[in-house]
Amino acid sequence: MNSQHPNTPDKPGTTGTIELLPVEIEHGERLLFRLTEFGRLLWESGLNIGPRQMLDVAETLNYIDIKNKEDFYNTLKSSLLTRHEQEPIFDQMFGYYWFMRDNPNKKTDRGGAAKREERQMRLPPSERKRLAEHLNTNELRKELRQEMRQTERRRTHQEQDRYDDENDEAPPQGTAYSAIEQLRKKDFENFTWDEVQEAKRLMAEMRWHLGLRLTRRKKPARNGSYPDMRRIVRRNLKYGAELLELTWRETKLKPRPLVIICDISGSMSLYSRLLLHFIHTISNGLLNVEAFVFGTRLTRITRQLKKRDVDDAVRDVSKSVQDWSGGTRIGDALHYFNHKWAKRVLGRGAVVLIISDGWDRGDASVLQAEMDRLQHNCHRLIWLNPLLGSPDYRPLTIGMKTALPYIDNFLPAHNLDSLIYLGNLLSTIDDSKPDRSPAARHKAVEAWSKPRR
């Protein structure tokens, strides 16, 4: 980096218009220091910013008038930000670092930059905590810290309750390890604590493969169906103008994207935590897995599941999800998914996996419309229902009845065996389209409404 920063002020007397850095214009080394500190703050709040970006920003600032706070803000933003989702975090941090920290009395005036983005999104708890840690050194922020302590305390209460609940449901009975065979067939509902641990271990050992799809890309192959002209010309130069050796290319195959939408409402509470482990094992081994959970609303948990350690990941998920074990509104959740996420994650022949018991408290007509739309937009729509494990289960709830015609594969998800079966199914999904004609739909519904066995 240039040790001499070109933004040394040519006019030492500051003009009156500057609100950005109220005491004096920061420049040279001081500015670099502040920038680095700001970069670190952003990094701590979860933005992926390294020294390279900071060097880059320092250089970029040469081109603008840093005394103009709006330009300064815009420049930092377009240089450091890489995702639309992170804008609120950036804005908050920017407002805090460049306005509030030095200038506590101006707290109400959040500065032009932050004010323009009137999105008013709150930081997720984890970010607030990080911010609090950063603030620790700064005594001016006491009140903010108090607020944060409160929210944290409240959260621990909830967690405590949840922990108690869990203990009620699955008291450690000290039973011996069941034989794996037996365990595989046992309903999750009846698992003891030890069995849950064993099941988690077994799940972690499962290996997943997704069905392949044809891409538009070609790759060299021994026996393909497309001539590889570049290689043909090169190889045959030695024969003069005759083409004697032919080389080929064939279509490249890639695994299909998988989108998991998991119900975590109250009626699913026995299953949802184990199923989260299951989702983690799937998404960890595979690229291209997007995961969402819903109760009354939909939360994307893909990023949280990227953590290697399953317990860390599940803990992160539980923190970011607000509506554990609440009511279910499948239709609304799917509506939100279709509107906000479908375009972004359902490309390239995705397979959608919905995990829910179908106890819907929402509007059936919404559910129907959204299921229809969802099925249209994906290659295969699989619904896993833990209740399906019981032999006399029939889809009689309104939610399940409404959704049934739009499901391509309706499968149980109550024990380890059913998950293994699912794994096999996923790996066999090919390019053939499932039968979605009205007749086929009718038949499927008929088949399910008869008592089985």
Partner 1 sequence: MQQEQSSTFTTIEDVQKAMQAQHYIADRSLATAVFLALKRRKPLLLEGEPGVGKTEVAKVLATILGTDLIRLQCYEGIDISTAVYEWNYTRQMLHIRVMEASHLNRQEELKEIFGPEFLLRRPLLQAIDPTNGKAPVLLIDELDRSDEEFEAYLLELLSDFQITIPEIGTIHAQEPPYVIITSNRTREIHDALRRRCLYYWIDYPSLEKEYAIIMARMPDVPEQLARQVCTFVREVRGLDLFKAPGVAETLDWISSLLALNQKELIDSAVRDTLGALLKYQDDILKVGSSDLPKLVQKARGVSR
**Rounded CA gap, 145 and 32, in Å?**
28
**Rounded CA gap, 163 and 55, in Å?**
46
**331-350 binders of partner 1 (CB under 8 A):** 338-339, 343-344, 347-348
**Rounded CA gap, 345 and 253, in Å?**
19
The correct pick among 48, 151, 190, 449 for binding partner 1 (CB under 8 A) is 48
**10-29 binders of partner 1 (CB under 8 A):** none
The correct pick among 34, 44, 55, 79 for binding partner 1 (CB under 8 A) is 79
Q: In terms of CB distance, is 53 or 356 closer to partner 1?
A: 53
The correct pick among 71, 187, 198, 363 for binding partner 1 (CB under 8 A) is 71
Span from 46-54, 99-107, 320-328, 438-446 in contact with partner 1 (CB under 8 A):
46-54
Q: In terms of CB distance, is 87 or 166 closer to partner 1?
A: 87
Closest approach, Cβ 391 to partner 1, in A, equals: 40
Span from 28-36, 146-154, 188-196, 238-246 in contact with partner 1 (CB under 8 A):
238-246
Q: In terms of CB distance, is 91 or 357 closer to partner 1?
A: 91
Span from 23-31, 72-80, 266-274, 407-415 in contact with partner 1 (CB under 8 A):
72-80
The correct pick among 230, 436, 443, 452 for binding partner 1 (CB under 8 A) is 230
What does the block give as tokens for 358?
A: 């179908």
The correct pick among 5, 9, 46, 60 for binding partner 1 (CB under 8 A) is 60
**Residues whose CB falls within 8 Å of the CB of residue 14, separated by 6 or more in sequence, listed in order:** 24, 25
**Rounded CA gap, 30 and 381, in Å?**
57
Cα atoms found within 13 Å of the Cα of residue 332, Cβ hemisphere only: 13
Closest approach, Cβ 409 to partner 1, in A, equals: 25
Contact predicate 399/359, CB 8 Å? yes
What does the block give as tokens for 277?
A: 């482990």
**162-221 binders of partner 1 (CB under 8 A):** 215-218
Place of tokens 């999104």: 121
Is 74 near partner 1 (CB under 8 A)? yes
The correct pick among 121, 140, 233, 447 for binding partner 1 (CB under 8 A) is 233
Q: In terms of CB distance, is 85 or 169 closer to partner 1?
A: 85
**Rounded CA gap, 38 and 122, in Å?**
20
What does the block give as tokens for 63?
A: 């081109």
115 burial level (CB within 10 Å; 0-12, 13-18, 19+): exposed
Contact predicate 292/262, CB 8 Å? yes
**Rounded CA gap, 176 and 170, in Å?**
15
Q: In terms of CB distance, is 180 or 233 closer to partner 1?
A: 233
Q: In terms of CB distance, is 112 or 172 closer to partner 1?
A: 112
Closest approach, Cβ 35 to partner 1, in A, equals: 16
What does the block give as tokens for 36?
A: 């680095």
333 burial level (CB within 10 Å; 0-12, 13-18, 19+): buried
Q: In terms of CB distance, is 209 or 339 closer to partner 1?
A: 339
Is 222 near partner 1 (CB under 8 A)? no
What does the block give as tokens for 441?
A: 């739909």
Place of tokens 């939100």: 336
What is the size of the binding site for partner 1 (CB under 8 A)?
40
Among the residues of 110-141, which ranges form H helices? 111-116, 125-135
What does the block give as tokens for 158?
A: 């909830």
Q: In terms of CB distance, is 27 or 373 closer to partner 1?
A: 373
Per the DSSP assignment, residues forming a β-bridge with 300 are 292
Closest approach, Cβ 343 to partner 1, in A, equals: 6
Say how many Å lie between the first and final Cα of the chain, rounded.
75
Is 87 near partner 1 (CB under 8 A)? yes
124 three-state secondary structure: coil
**373-402 binders of partner 1 (CB under 8 A):** 373
What does the block give as tokens for 359?
A: 């106890």
Span from 7-15, 140-148, 227-235, 435-443 in contact with partner 1 (CB under 8 A):
227-235
The correct pick among 7, 45, 75, 304 for binding partner 1 (CB under 8 A) is 75
- Per-residue b/e over 148-159, b at no fewer than 16 CB within 10 Å? beeeeeeeeeee
| Sites of contact with partner 1 (CB under 8 A) | 48, 52-53, 59-60, 63-65, 70-71, 74-75, 77-79, 81-84, 87, 215-218, 229-230, 232-233, 237, 240-241, 243, 338-339, 343-344, 347-348, 369, 373
